A and B are shown apart, each in its own frame.
Chain A
Amino acid sequence: MTETCIDLDQLDHGRFSRWPFSQECCLTCGICASACPVSGVDGFDPRKLIRMAGFGMAESLVESRWPWICTMCAKCEQLCPAGIDIAELIRQIRGLRDRDKVPGILHKGLAAALKTGNNLALPKEDFVFILQDVAEEIAQEPGFTGFTVPIDKEGADVLTTIHNKLVNTHTEDLKHWWKIFHAAGENWTIPSDNWEGTNWGLFTGDDESMKTMVGRIVENMHRLKAETLLWPE
C-alpha cells in the first residue's frame, strides 16, 4: 500500500470510458493476473491496471513502465471471462505517452521511417546497392548462375517487404529465401521505396503512424500491381 492517499472523487472516472475495450465489465476475478508472465513486476498486474483505468488514474498509468514491459502475449485477453481487450487497452495507454518519453529507440526508429520510408534512414541508392551486392554473391553459387534480385518489377505475383536488419546486420539471411524463390521460379519483387517491414507504431501505441506505414505498403502493391503481399515480420 502506498503512503499517499488519493482523493477518489477528484479523479476523472470517465477518462477512459469511451474506450471500446469493455473494461467496465471487469469483475476483478484475477484470471488475467494469474496468466500474465510479468504479473507482479513493479507491483503491477493486468487486473490492477484495468482497475486503475476504471478509476481514471491516467497519470500513474502513463508514467509507469509496466505497460511497456507487457509482452503483448495477450494470454490475459484470451482468458478474460468478461471479454475485455486487455492487451489492446495496454497498447492504447502506451499511445498516451509523449513521444519523446517512449522507451528506447522505438519512436526514434518510427520517426525515421515516417520521414524516409525505413527505420535506418537508409538512402535508396544504398538500399539498392546492398540488395544487388547480395544478389551477385548468390549468382556465384553453383545452380544460381544468372540470379538477379527483381526490384520494382511490375506485375509480380509476390511483393515482399524487408525487415531493416536484413540490410544492416543480417544481410546473409536474405540469401536463404531468395534462393527458394529462384528454385521455385517465383515471380516476385521488392519495392525500392517504403520497403520497411517493421511497424513500430504498433509497439508504441501510435495508431496514426501505424496506418501511415501500412498505407505505404498498400500503395506499393497498387503501384506494382502485385497479387500477393509477403510480410515477414
Chain B
Amino acid sequence: MPGRPRAGSWIFCKKAPENAAHGSFRRTSFQFISKPAAPPGTGGSRRRGIPLTRPALILGNSGCAHQIAQGLADAGTPVILATADRGKNGLPAPRRDSARVEIVTGATLISCRGGPGGFDVTLKTDQGPYPYHVSGIVVAESTRRRPHTETYGLALSDNVWSLSQLTAALNDEAAARAFASQTVVFLTGLFAESQPLIAREAMAACLWLQQHGAGTYLLTGNLKVAGEGLEALYRQARQAGVVFAKFSASRPDIRQEPAVQILFTDEVTRQGFRIRPDRVIIEEAILPGAPIADIAACLGLHTDSQGFLQTGNVHRIPVFTNRPGILAAGPARMAQDARGDAVDAANAVSQLLALSRAGAIEADTRAQIHAGQCIRCLTCYRLCPYRAVILNGRLSVDPDACQRCGICAAECPRGAIWLPDLTQAVVSSRIQNLRKTCDPGPGKPFIVAFCCSRSAVLARDMAADQGRGLPAGLGVVEVSCAGGLSLQHLLAAFQNGADGVAVLTCHPGNCHSEHGNLLAKQRVSQLHEWMSGIGLADERLLAATLAANMGTAFAEALNGFAARLQTAQNKAGRPPREPVPG
C-alpha cells in the first residue's frame, strides 16, 4: 500500500501531480495538457525522424576556429563563421568563401534561443540583425594579452616593452639588427605565476637575440617548462649564452627612473649583481578575448575565474560547456599551444557533426511543465544549468537540452514540474521495494542512500568490486543528479521506514549540473534544522560529497553512519524506526 503523508509533514512541502507518471490524473479546475508544446525552432520534421544537415555556428576568427570550419566543411556540413573582425576590404557584408563556409564579419551575438540540434541565433551586423538557425554552436574566440606592467611596477616606454611588442619587432630583420650588442633583460613569473606559452615565447626570443649578438638575461620565478620541447629550448638558450637567474626566496629590485636598473642577489652564489640593460621585456597575462564576456552572458555559460569558457568541472572535458549543443574550443576554453588548439578543433568537429545529423528523438522522459499550474515565476528558467527551459509566452522544456537533473522540479514553488522517474510516488515505491529486499535483520538500521549517478553510484560499484563490506541494510536510490531531490523525497524515505537517510553528491565544482550538489546540500541543511522538531533525531540524516573513484570513502561513510545509527538505537533501548503508516 503506498504511504500516505501525515498532515503535519506537508507544511513545508510542495504539491506535485503525483499520479501523472501512471497516466491517470485527478481533474481539478485547471486544464491539463497531456503533452508539452514543442519548443520553437526544433522543427517538427526532426521529431518525425527525418534527419537534416543544419549549419553549425562558429564564433571567432582564431586558427582553431578556421580548423573547425575546415573540418566541418570537409565532412559536408555547412558552416557559419561569425566574428567581430572586419573583412580586409572593410566591407562587413557576409560573403561566401567556399560552397559550405559562410563568413560573417563585423558580427556580434545578440540572442540565442532553442536547444541542441536547433538554435535560433541572431547576429548583429552593420546591415542590421541577421537570424540564423543552427544545429550547434562553438565558441573559439582568440585570446588577448595584457602586459604585467602593474605587477612589475614598470611603465611601457622606449626601453620597456611587452613580450608581444618584442616578438612583433623581431619579425622585421632591420629592427632586429638594432638589438645587436644590446643588453636585454626578460622578466617572467616573478610576482605572479607565469605559464608555458609565455616561457616558450620568451626563451625563443632570448635565443634569437643571443644568436644575433645581443646579451640576454632571463630573470624568472618558476620557469614553466611543462610543454612540448620547452626543456630542450631552455638548454639551447643556455648553450647560446642566455643567462638565467631564478628567484625563490628573494626578488630583484627593478627601477625605471632615472634609467632602468636591476639589482638582485643571486641565490646560488649569494653575490649581489647589477644590470643596466638597454631594454627590459615584461611578460603578459593571457586572457579570454574581449567578446567572450558578452557571449557567456548571452548564452548563459559558466566561466572560470579568469573568464575562460570552461571551469575546472570534470564533466566539461574536452570541449563541453554547461549547455548541451554549445562548445568551447581552443583559445576560448583556455590559453594553450597550437597542438591543444588542434585537438580541441578535432573534438569540436566530431561533436558538431553529431548534432547536425541528429535524427529522431527517443521516448520523451525529460522534465515536463504543467502549463496550467505554472505561475511563470521563472525560477526554473533561472535555475536550469542547461538553459533547457524555454520562455515563449508559456514555459516549456527543450527535450534535447534537458539532462533530467530534476532541479527545476525540486525548486518549483507550485510543484508544476515533474520528471517521470522522480515523482514522489515513484521514489516512495522504490524505497518500499528496497525495504523489503534489503532487510538488515532485527535491530540493525535500514539506510536509504540517495546516490548521484555520476559519483556516488559509481563509488558504490567500486566499493562492491573491491569487496569492501557495506551495511547489510543499505538501500541505494539512484538519481541522475542530487539537485533533483526535494524535501519531499527525503521525508518520503523516513516515512517509508528508513532509520537513516544519506544524500551523496559530487564534490563542489564537479557537479554536471553546476549547482545541483549545492542545492542538495541546502535542502539537507534545511531539514537538519527542524527535523528534531518533528520527532526525527538529526543524526539520522547524512550529507557527503564523493567522486566516482572513491570506493573506500563510500564504504567508510556508510559503515560509519550505520554504526552511529546502531549506537543511537542501542542507547534508546528500542528500535527508533517509525512505524510504516498503513
Contact = CB atoms under 8 A, between A and B. Distances in A.
Interface of A: 1-9, 13-14, 17, 24-25, 28, 43, 47-48, 51-52, 54-55, 57
Nearest to A50: B268
Contact of B273 (A8, A14, A17, A48): A8
Interface string B234-274: 01001101010010000000000000000101101111111
A188 B238 CA distance: 53
Nearest to B264: A8
Closest 8 CB pairs of A and B: A24-B238, A8-B273, A5-B272, A51-B268, A9-B183, A8-B275, A1-B270, A5-B274
Contact of A8 (B217, B235, B241, B268): B217
7 contacts: A6-B271, A8-B243, A8-B275, A17-B239, A25-B238, A54-B243, A57-B271
Nearest to B278: A9
Given A6-B273, A9-B277, A13-B215, A28 B268 contact: yes
B268 A47 contact: yes
Contacts of B183: 9
Nearest to B183: A9
Given A7-B274, A7-B276, A14 B269 contact: no
A5 B276 CA distance: 13
For A4, A24, A28, A57, the residue with the greatest tally of chain B CB atoms inside 10 Å of its CB is A24
Contacts of A4: 272
B272 A2 contact: yes
A25 B237 CA distance: 10
B131 to A, nearest CB: 59
A39 to B, nearest CB: 13
A1 B265 contact: yes
A3 B238 CA distance: 28
Nearest to A55: B243
Nearest to A6: B273
Contacts of B246: 28
Nearest to B268: A51
A17 B215 CA distance: 14
B263 A9 contact: no
A35 B225 CA distance: 27
Contact of B235 (A2, A9, A24, A28): A24
Contact of A6 (B235, B239, B272): B272
Contacts of A6: 271-274
A157 B148 CA distance: 75
Nearest to B244: A54
A1 B271 contact: yes
B269 A7 contact: no
Nearest to A43: B270
A58 to B, nearest CB: 14
Contacts of A5: 263, 272-274
B274 to A, nearest CB: 5
Nearest to B273: A8
Interface in B203-218: 215, 217
Nearest to A2: B271
Given A5-B272, A9-B183, A52-B269, 14 more contacts: A1-B271, A2-B271, A5-B274, A6-B272, A6-B274, A8-B243, A9-B215, A28-B246, A28-B268, A47-B268, A48-B268, A55-B266, A57-B269, A57-B271
Given A47-B268, A51-B269, A52-B269, A8 B274 contact: yes
